[in-house]
Amino acid sequence: MLAEPATEPATPAVEVGTLTQAFETFTAATRRLEREYAALRRRVTQLATELEEKNRRLAASLERERALEATALRQSRLAAMGEMAAMLAHEVRNPLGAMELFTGLLLQDLQDQPEPQRLARQVAAGIADLNHLVTNLLEFTRTRRAADRGDARVECRAAVDDALRYASDLIEGGSITVVRDVPAAEVTARGDAALLRPALLNLIRNAVQAMPAGGTLTATVARNGDGVVMTIADSGPGIPAEVRASIFTPFFTTRAKGTGLGLTVVRELVTALGGEVTLADGAGGAAFTIALQAA
């Protein structure tokens, strides 16, 4: 008699349903954990970014604080140096005035003696340079405010002529040709001749020094709308583009014997007059323009 084949026991439907529900629950939990893990990673990344930004700001703040401390120390030293320079300048100016006076008398006495007079002129030129340096030091350490000028007026043509006259020895000694381009009528601006004249003189001296082999110095006065512009231009080599941004910085100079105060003083004086000084672009040489409000 043949045996009947064995049959697998049937799985109850309730067990299949339970397993399916458990698998779905596990899948849902897994997906929820994945979402929470992804959200956690995003939060960690955000916190890390925020921490990095805070550290960067803290470092920048500390750097600024150190820079401010260094600036304050430097300004304190500059203030002390300024006071000392002003004191020394006052002390030096008195003997310089006497030397300038006596040299002028000596030049008159040596009119008939060319060689001694030439030597005396060199002494006079040296004294003039020292006097100019002392004047710039005093102007640099002096506080100027436009309000101090009140309603003063200055005739610009006369101010330019005075500056050219004061620098006449320097101009003649440098074989410089002066070209004046000014209107026939008066040109009056708001300001003070006592401030404008030394500003123009500094520009004239710079122009002459830029032409050691001689050249042409052009002084221009013109109206410009409701303003007045005065330009001192030279036919020298000009100012390189890479240093133009620094030319008004105190003590910056491209000359071996320069002090770097001339243009700084010009800017301070013109600012006190309520005006502006700029370096104009040109085909050759340098051209500095002072712009003031017309009166």
pTM of the model: 0.61
pLDDT at position 150, please?
A: 53
Q: State the architecture of 148-293 in CATH terms.
A: 2-Layer Sandwich (3.30)
Which tokens is 191 given?
């300001």
pLDDT at position 252, please?
A: 76
pLDDT at position 39, please?
A: 85
Rounded-to-integer distance, Cα 246 and Cα 148, Å: 28
- Listed as ranges, residues in the chain with pLDDT below 70 are 1-14, 78, 81-82, 85, 140-150, 256-258, 281-283
Rounded-to-integer distance, Cα 138 and Cα 202, Å: 14
Beta-bridge partners for 277 = 290
pLDDT at position 8, please?
A: 53
Beta-bridge partners for 294 = 189
pLDDT at position 98, please?
A: 84
pLDDT at position 146, please?
A: 47
From first CA to last CA, the distance across the chain in angstroms is 139
Question: Of 217, 193, 196, 221, which is closest to residue 205 (Cα–Cα)?
Answer: 217
pLDDT at position 216, please?
A: 93
pLDDT tens, residue by residue, 234-247: 998 888 888 888 88
Which tokens is 241 given?
């583009």
Secondary structure (DSSP) of 169-218: HHHHHTTEEEEEE--SS--EEES-HHHHHHHHHHHHHHHHHT-TT-EEEE
Which tokens is 90 given?
């006052």
Contacts of 142 (CB under 8 A, 6+ apart): 86
Question: Of 285, 99, 116, 122, which is closest to residue 210 (Cα–Cα)?
Answer: 285
Q: Position of tokens 């050219």?
A: 164
